[in-house]
Amino acid sequence: MPFSSQFLPTDDDRMTAEPAALEAHLARRRYGRFTLTDAIRPGWPLEVVPRAGYRHDTFVDAQGDRLPALVAAVTSENLFDTFLDVLEPIGDVCDVILETAHDRPQGGHVDLIRHGIERTVLESVLWEFDDVLLDDGCTGIAVMHPERPLEVQFDAHKLLVVYAPDTTPFERVLRTRGVPADDSIRFLFQAEHVHASHTRFARRFEELAARLAAE
């Protein structure tokens, strides 16, 4: 998987390293028992060591209202299955937002929306596109309850993010999947990091959006 220079930090010389050392660093997927997907790598030098765990957080909207949140890192072997399991508390029908940063060399992203899809149908489609969801550093997805403030994000950093008034059902899923609670955990997005993508993933994303009728 090529790590395109367009995703390398350009305003911080901490990524500077000898080419051979940087190549070996970017090729490394496993840190102890934790395995990264091909979508992301920690920056140079290694400021955050990837590991499994989830922490509690809080989302504050523009009006100052607060909503409990969870942020979770899951080893790649279990990540996709855990994502699907975490969707269950949302219910039988959901809204979906697909996020892509393809063709956005200056940053930013585009959102495509599908309203009112059955969760079982959504999961069936996502199984066909697990490659782009797991290994494309330009793709993210959010699944939401149509009426209640419940949302699960599987973001471009390949983290799971949950927003819910009561996070207990989601925490239960994470613990069942062997993801420990750890409010001291740090995630890759909190330090220099590198996203990876490929032109074939841009095509796969378009296919996924078409299958979901997201626009």
Residue 156 makes CB contacts below 8 A (sequence gap 6+) with 39, 40, 99, 101, 109, 136, 137, 138, 139, 140, 195
Q: What is the pLDDT of residue 65?
A: 87
pLDDT per position as a tens digit, 130-147 = 999 999 999 999 999 999
Q: What is the pLDDT of residue 171?
A: 98
Q: How far is CA 73 from CA 49, 53, 99, 124, 199, in A?
A: 12, 5, 19, 23, 26
Q: Using CA atoms, how far apart are residues 85 and 37, in angstroms rounded to an integer?
A: 19
* Structure-token pair, residue 142: 């959010």
201: three-class secondary structure by DSSP: helix
Q: Where are the domains of the chain?
A: 53-190+194-212
Which positions of the chain have pLDDT values less than 50?
Answer: 1-15
Contact predicate 72/179, CB 8 Å: yes
Q: How many CB atoms lie within 10 A of CB 102?
A: 18
pLDDT per position as a tens digit, 136-192 = 999 999 999 999 999 999 999 999 999 999 999 999 999 999 999 999 999 999 999
